[in-house]
Chain A
Amino acid sequence: MRLSLARRLPVLLILLLLPALSHAQRLVSVGGTLTEIIYLLGEQERLVAVDTSSIYPAATEQLPRVGYQRTLSAEGVLSVHPDTLLITPEAGPLKVLRQLQDSGIELVTIEAPDTREGIAQRILDVAQALGVAEKGQAAVAALEQRFAQLHIPPAWQERPPRILFLLQVSGSPMVAGRGTAPDTLIQLAGGVNAAGSLEGYKMLTPEALLAAAPDAILVSDQGLVRAGGEQRVWQLPGMAATPAAQSRRLLRLDALLALGLGPRTADAVQQVQAQLEDWRP
Chain B
Amino acid sequence: MSAARSRRLPLPELLLALLLVSALALTQGAYRIDWSVLSQSGLQLADWQVLLHVRLPRLLLALLVGAALATTGAVMQALFRNPLADPGLLGIASGASVAVGLVIVLLPGMVDLEQVALPFWVLSWMNSLAAFLGALLSCWLIFRLARRRGQVAVLHLLLAGIAINALAGAVTGLLTYVSNDEQLRTLTFWAMGSLGGARWQHVAVVSALLLPTLAYLWRQAARLNLLLLGDEEARYAGLDVESIKRRLVAATALAVGITVAFAGLIGFVGLMVPHLVRLLLGADNRLVLPCSLLLGAVLLTAADTLARLLVVPAELPVGLVTSLLGGPFFLWLLFRSMRGIE
Residues of A within 8 A of B (CB): 49, 52, 64-68, 70-81, 90, 92-96, 98-99, 102-104, 167, 200-201, 203
Contact = CB atoms under 8 A, between A and B. Distances in A.
A98 B124 contact: yes
A68 B182 CA distance: 13
Contact of A99 (B180, B199, B317): B199
B30 A94 contact: no
Contact of B312 (A68, A76, A102, A200): A76
Interface of B: 29-32, 46, 49-50, 53-55, 120, 123-124, 177, 180-182, 185-186, 189, 194, 196-199, 202, 308, 311-315, 317
A64 B54 contact: no
A203 B202 CA distance: 38
B53 A203 contact: no
A215 B78 CA distance: 63
B313 A66 contact: yes
A71 B194 contact: yes
A25 to B, nearest CB: 15
Given A75-B308, A76-B314, A103 B198 contact: no
A75 B314 CA distance: 9
Contacts of B194: 71, 93
A80 B29 CA distance: 12
Given A94-B124, A200-B180, A201-B181, A75 B54 contact: yes
Contacts of A76: 30-31, 312-315
A255 B182 CA distance: 16
B50 A75 contact: yes
Contact of A74 (B54, B186, B202): B54
Contacts of B314: 52, 65-68, 71, 73, 76
A79 B313 contact: yes
Given A66-B314, A103-B49, A201-B181, A73 B199 contact: no
B49 A73 contact: no
A96 B197 contact: yes
B197 A95 contact: yes
18 contacts: A65-B313, A67-B314, A70-B182, A71-B314, A72-B196, A73-B308, A75-B50, A79-B312, A80-B313, A94-B197, A96-B196, A98-B120, A98-B197, A99-B54, A103-B46, A103-B54, A104-B49, A200-B180
A168 to B, nearest CB: 10
A105 to B, nearest CB: 11
Contacts of B202: 95
Kindly list the 4 A-B residue pairs having the minimum CB-CB distance in the complex, ordered from nearest.
A95-B197, A67-B314, A76-B313, A96-B197
A200 B181 contact: yes
A75 B313 contact: yes
Contact of A95 (B31, B198, B312): B198
Given A66-B314, A76-B31, A167-B181, 20 more contacts: A49-B313, A64-B313, A65-B313, A70-B189, A71-B315, A72-B196, A73-B308, A73-B314, A75-B55, A75-B308, A75-B313, A76-B313, A79-B31, A79-B32, A79-B313, A95-B124, A95-B198, A99-B54, A103-B46, A103-B54
Nearest to B202: A95
